[in-house]
Amino acid sequence: MLRVGVCVSGGGTNLQAIMDKMESGAVTDAELSVVVSNNAGAYALTRAKNRGIPAVCVSPKDYETREAFHEALVETLDGFRLDLIVLAGFLVVLPEELIEKYRNRIINIHPSLIPSFCGTGNYGLAVHEHALERGVKVTGATVHFVDEGTDTGPIILQKAVAVRDDDTPKSLQLRVMEEAEWEILPEAIDLIANGKIRVENGRVVRV
């Protein structure tokens, strides 16, 4: 059974999708061991508590230095003996120590088709604003392993979503979530839990 920890900063709709698909049996061989947030007010923590899942806040506000915050974050995650860390809208730049320690065991959901609209400054609603400004006709979401870069790690799954002429950043954000993110993030966890993928030469291949 894969022990999964989910890191969140906000509403937690992706966390909800993961919990729902674990409960329905669409995701197998995986259990949610903890939900960690940097933000005490994150509704995602309430979603976890409602399901009886340990919900922990590790806020930078409670530490004097960035190093001390990073240390606490790594210690907290280590404490749950996780096989996989899922970043589901986690707006914290990860300490390199964590990335190194959990190489190919951290995944992230990004609301665009990487390499479009990713990297520094592209998170949340801004991603969809940039996609609409550029006038793309297709966007989507990507699940990838996390490496030292921003949105640069090996790609696991992508799903495309059509842009409509009357889309606003908000309407596009919601459709990308509904049609892509909430599908491919749980699916990626299921693939990993069932040993169906591995990283080879920086790319994800099916086993």
Joined together, the tokens standing for residue 30 give 């995986």
Q: Give residues with Cβ within 8 angstroms of 120, minimum separation 6.
A: 150
- Side-chain-side CA neighbours of residue 125 (13 Å): 6
Q: How far is the CB of 176 from ligand GAR (least distance, A)?
A: 7
CB 156 within 8 A of CB 196: no
Q: Which of 110, 128, 130, 144 is catalytic?
A: 110
Peptide bond into 115 cis (omega under 30): yes
| CB-closest chain residue to ligand GAR | 89
In whole angstroms, give the CA distance from residue 39 to residue 173: 22
Tell me how far, at minimum, the Cβ of 55 lies from ligand GAR, in Å: 14
Q: Nearer to ligand GAR by C-beta: 44 or 99?
A: 44
Please count the CA atoms within 13 angstroms of the CA of 17 that sit on its side-chain side: 22
The verdict on whether 70 is a catalytic residue reads no
- Residue closer to ligand GAR, measured from CB, 2 or 180: 180
Closest contact distance (angstroms) between CB of 38 and ligand GAR is 12
Q: Which residues bind ligand GAR (CB under 6 A)?
A: 8, 10-14, 44, 88-89, 109-111, 123-124, 127, 177, 181
Between 171 and 194, CB nearer to ligand GAR: 171
In the bound state with ligand GAR, the residue whose beta carbon lies nearer, of 127 and 191, is: 127
In whole angstroms, the minimum distance from the beta carbon of 190 to ligand GAR comes to 18
49: part of which helix (H) or strand (E)? helix 43-50
Question: What is the rounded radius of gyration, in angstroms, for the C-alpha atoms of the chain?
Answer: 16
Beta-sheet strands, E only, within the chain: 2-8, 30-37, 55-57, 84-87, 106-110, 138-145, 155-162, 197-200, 203-206
Nearer to ligand GAR (CB atom), residue 12 or residue 186? 12
CA distance 183 to 159: 9
CB 154 within 8 A of CB 145: yes
CB of 175 to ligand GAR, least distance (A): 11
The catalytic residue positions are 110
